[in-house]
């Protein structure tokens, strides 16, 4: 009995972690700047490639993962300064610009590094509950997802940067008048978003085949989580991921992965019909 | 009714424009006489995609809804044509398969559009929800390799794609080669003129009014949602027409014509050309398809990098689109020149009558 329950929890945790890790960076960038970063998947890919490259050079996996996330974050800041910055007043054009970037990066990577590189195996280690055994690494991913959520909460609610960032999010002009350097806040936020994307890639790198187009496997999940979550990362992302994970887990268990994905999409389309602004709208209203 | 081909929502209403239009049409009509059949086949291949581009111009440029789902409906109708052509058998039934598959795509657009438009999804979310649907369809079709995935006698075949359907046929005659070329020219002519009439009609003016300010249009008493849904269905149906024609042209279709990077292509053609004008979209898309095909022969990746760079360059340098931008600059220069000769009486007014 206990082992069945834990098995259900394990499957839920697996999907939940994937949704949270894949969407956190996208959600922060959207929540702060109102920009959907279509190159989000490429930052994920970047994190994965840096991780695998470093591990193949002999760097221990956790160190490689941290370095990969930081690398993606720094590239994100660079991209913000060079491209994204010009589009805050034209959010739809930002979608196109980042999509152009995404095409350039994926196809450029295909030319430069070829279709696949030598991967690294999933770290060994499993534990048993009752009759079933479970992969330890998947539980580590779940813990990381929770840590990311807590980290975002602490960063935005408990630090000076967070206060200024939230002020900028609410009213950029007023924040600027009060002395906040909003340009820098935006650059750093975009960097954090890209870094979280890189972290996602780094964490999932050992579990999947690395190809330059791997970002596409993440973006559907990250898009729908952000759509369901709404504009407020702090309030929306976690409940959205939880709900979608429940839908997906129950469908996965009975019908397999692909029906799970399609079912999740149908759920999303039904949810936006009822809740156009996502979860953060009802939660924010209640909080007032 | 016919006078609606000219109007405020389309560039190029003067006599000069229509003379140039006739010249281009004539050239297109006599082209197969001079070209060898391989080039005519290639030309047909470019023309197939024009419907999808025009549809996107209608939805995005005129309707103001940024949809990333053109290849979703392309795929639905493309696979739809394949399945129907196999189930109903070849011969003249393929024409019915074409029409039916386009209707299936338009119906899918009505369902998806209902949930999005009535759910008041707009702006960026419209784009990413349609893209999520598109990518999910591509993933789904990609894993249908097993024999259990079939509709009637039609196997879906996963990543390798569907094949074995007949091309469009009337009686004993396959619509291929030069015949297909002329059929496509005729279809494009009808679509292009029909869309011009649509956007210059009362309905078209409402569609544009909604793009400019949905709230104001609603206050003026229009049910914004119905007009948006209509726009979305027509534009997506045109993407479906491209899909069905594509399947008929090559007698195969694969999931890769739905997913990434295929889904970005219509966006790039239309953004580069100038989404707010049908003529610019027609010309620009054709040029880009031609250029893309030329480079693809050497390296597909390089061609795609270039397309990405083109999209980036468009939004950074000329957000309204290069063809529209250039045409407007030329038009202004032309008016300056002709304005000195005969003051006023601009050729743009001819559509008002």
Domain assignment present for A287: no
Mean of the per-residue pLDDT values of chain B: 90
- Distant-in-sequence, close-in-space partners of B137: CB < 8 Å, separation ≥ 6: B72, B75, B76, B255, B258
Q: Determine the Cα–Cα distance for residues A107 and A99; give it in Å rounded to an integer.
A: 12
- Give the pLDDT of residue B146: 84
The number of distinct structural domains making up chain A is: 1
pLDDT at residue A157 tops 80: yes
Q: Determine the Cα–Cα distance for residues B174 and A269; give it in Å rounded to an integer.
A: 41
- Give the pLDDT of residue B84: 94
Domain assignment present for A274: no
Q: Determine the Cα–Cα distance for residues B112 and B127; give it in Å rounded to an integer.
A: 12
- Give the pLDDT of residue B150: 86
Q: Which of B29, B67, B63, B33 is nearest to B47 (CA)?
A: B29
Q: What tens digit of pLDDT does each residue of B52-110 get?
A: 999 999 999 999 999 999 999 999 999 999 999 999 887 889 999 999 999 999 999 99
| B344: three-class secondary structure by DSSP | coil
Nearest CA in chain A to B260: A216
Residue B124 vs residues A68, A90, A104, B322: alpha-carbon distances, Å: 29, 11, 21, 23
Nearest CA in chain B to A99: B308
Asked whether B236 and B69 are in contact (CB, 8 A), the reply is yes
What is the mean predicted confidence (pLDDT) over A90-94?
A: 90
Q: Do A276 and B264 touch (CB under 8 A)?
A: no
- Give the pLDDT of residue B155: 86
User: A104 to chain B: which residues are within 8 Å by CB?
Assistant: 305, 308-309, 312
Q: Identify the top-confidence range among A119-128, B107-116, B341-350.
A: B107-116
| pLDDT > 70 fraction of chain A, expressed in percent and rounded | 98
- Give the pLDDT of residue B314: 94
Phi, psi of B343, rounded to the nearest 5 degrees = -70, 140
The mean-pLDDT minimum among A1-15, A55-69, A165-179, A250-264 falls in A250-264
Q: Tokens 């999509």 identify what position? A: A99
Q: What tens digit of pLDDT does each residue of A32-91 get?
A: 888 999 999 999 999 999 999 999 999 999 999 999 999 999 999 999 999 999 998 888
Q: Do B136 and A265 touch (CB under 8 A)?
A: yes
The mean-pLDDT minimum among A73-77, A95-99, B119-123, B229-233 falls in B119-123
Q: For chain B, say whether A155 makes contact (Cβ under 8 Å).
A: no
- Give the pLDDT of residue B341: 57
Return the domain boundaries, chain B. 36-259
Q: Do B128 and A227 touch (CB under 8 A)?
A: yes
User: B319 to chain A: which residues are within 8 Å by CB?
Assistant: 90, 93
Domain assignment present for A20: yes
- Here the ipTM equals 0.90
- Give the pLDDT of residue A285: 65
Q: Determine the Cα–Cα distance for residues B218 and B209; give it in Å rounded to an integer.
A: 10
Domain that holds residue A21: 2-212
pLDDT at residue B349 tops 50: no
pLDDT at residue B13 tops 50: yes
pLDDT at residue A25 tops 70: yes
Q: For chain B, say whether A281 makes contact (Cβ under 8 Å).
A: no
Q: For chain B, say whether A113 makes contact (Cβ under 8 Å).
A: no
What is the mean predicted confidence (pLDDT) over B210-220?
A: 94
H or E stretch covering A174 = helix A172-177
Q: Do B315 and A107 touch (CB under 8 A)?
A: no
What is the mean predicted confidence (pLDDT) over B163-170?
A: 88
The two beta strands, B162-163 and B252-253, are: antiparallel
Q: Looking at residue A201, what DSSP letter applies?
A: H
Q: What tens digit of pLDDT does each residue of A188-228 get?
A: 999 999 999 999 999 999 998 888 988 888 998 899 999 88
Q: Determine the Cα–Cα distance for residues B266 and B54; give it in Å rounded to an integer.
A: 9
Predicted TM-score (pTM) of the model is: 0.92
pLDDT at residue A95 tops 70: yes
Domain assignment present for A18: yes
Q: What tens digit of pLDDT does each residue of B254-281 get?
A: 999 999 899 999 999 999 999 999 999 9
Residue B159 vs residues A212, B52, B80, B109, B163: alpha-carbon distances, Å: 18, 23, 16, 24, 12
């Amino acid at each position: 009995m206990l082992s069945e329950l834990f098995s259900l929890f394990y499957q839920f945790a697996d999907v939940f972690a994937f949704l949270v890790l894949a969407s956190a960076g996208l959600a922060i960038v959207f929540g702060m700047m109102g920009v959907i970063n279509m190159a989000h998947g490429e930052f994920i890919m970047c994190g994965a490639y840096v991780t695998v490259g470093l591990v193949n050079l002999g760097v221990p996996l956790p160190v490689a993962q941290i370095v990969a996330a930081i690398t993606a974050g720094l590239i994100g800041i660079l991209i913000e300064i060079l491209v994204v910055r010009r589009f805050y007043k034209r959010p739809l054009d930002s979608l196109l610009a980042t999509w152009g970037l995404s095409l350039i990066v994926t196809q450029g990577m295909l030319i430069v590094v070829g279709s696949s590189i030598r991967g690294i195996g999933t770290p060994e280690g499993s534990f048993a509950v009752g009759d079933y055994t479970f992969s330890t690494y998947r539980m580590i991913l779940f813990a990381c997802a929770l840590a990311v959520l807590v980290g975002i909460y602490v960063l935005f609610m408990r630090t000076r940067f967070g206060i200024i960032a939230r002020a900028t999010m609410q009213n950029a002009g007023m924040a600027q008048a009060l002395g906040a350097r909003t340009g820098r806040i935006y650059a750093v936020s975009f960097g954090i978003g890209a870094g979280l994307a890189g972290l996602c890639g780094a964490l999932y790198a050992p579990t999947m085949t690395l190809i330059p187009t791997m970002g596409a496997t993440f973006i559907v999940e990250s898009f729908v989580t952000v759509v369901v979550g709404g504009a407020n990362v702090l309030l929306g992302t976690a409940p959205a991921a939880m709900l979608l994970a429940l839908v997906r887990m129950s469908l996965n268990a009975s019908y397999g992965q692909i029906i799970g994905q399609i079912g999740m999409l149908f759920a999303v389309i039904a949810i936006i019909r009822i809740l156009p602004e996502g979860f953060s709208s009802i939660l924010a209203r209640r909080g007032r | 009714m016919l006078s609606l081909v000219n109007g405020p929502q389309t560039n190029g209403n003067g006599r000069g424009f229509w003379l140039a239009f006739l010249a281009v049409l004539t050239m297109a009509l006599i082209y197969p006489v001079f070209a060898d059949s391989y080039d005519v086949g290639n030309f047909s291949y470019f023309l197939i995609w024009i419907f999808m581009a025009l549809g996107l111009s209608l939805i995005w440029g005129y309707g103001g809804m940024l949809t990333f789902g053109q290849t979703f409906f392309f795929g639905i109708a493309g696979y739809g044509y394949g399945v129907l052509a196999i189930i109903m058998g070849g011969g003249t039934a393929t024409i019915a398969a074409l029409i039916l598959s386009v209707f299936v795509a338009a119906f899918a657009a009505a369902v998806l559009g209902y949930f999005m438009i009535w759910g008041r999804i707009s702006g960026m979310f419209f784009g990413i929800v349609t893209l999520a649907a598109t990518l999910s369809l591509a993933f789904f079709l990609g894993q249908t390799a097993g024999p259990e995935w079939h509709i009637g006698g039609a196997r879906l075949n996963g990543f390798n794609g569907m094949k074995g359907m007949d091309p469009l046929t009337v009686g004993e005659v396959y619509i291929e080669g030069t015949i297909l070329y002329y059929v496509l020219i005729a279809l494009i002519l009808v679509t292009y003129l029909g869309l011009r009439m649509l956007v210059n009609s009362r309905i078209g003016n409402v569609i544009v009014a909604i793009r400019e300010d949905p709230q104001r249009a609603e206050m003026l008493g229009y049910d914004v949602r119905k007009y948006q849904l209509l726009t979305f269905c027509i534009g997506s149906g045109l993407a479906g027409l491209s899909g069905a024609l594509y399947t008929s042209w090559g007698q195969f279709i694969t999931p890769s014509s739905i997913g990434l990077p295929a889904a970005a292509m219509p966006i790039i053609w239309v953004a580069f050309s100038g989404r707010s004008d049908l003529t610019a979209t027609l010309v620009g898309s054709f040029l880009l398809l031609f250029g893309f095909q030329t480079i693809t022969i050497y390296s597909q990746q390089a061609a795609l990098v270039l397309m990405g760079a083109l999209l980036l360059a468009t939004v950074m340098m000329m957000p309204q689109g290069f063809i529209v931008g250039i045409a407007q600059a030329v038009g202004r220069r032309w008016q300056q020149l002709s304005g000195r000769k005969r003051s006023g009486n601009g050729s743009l007014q001819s559509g008002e009558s």
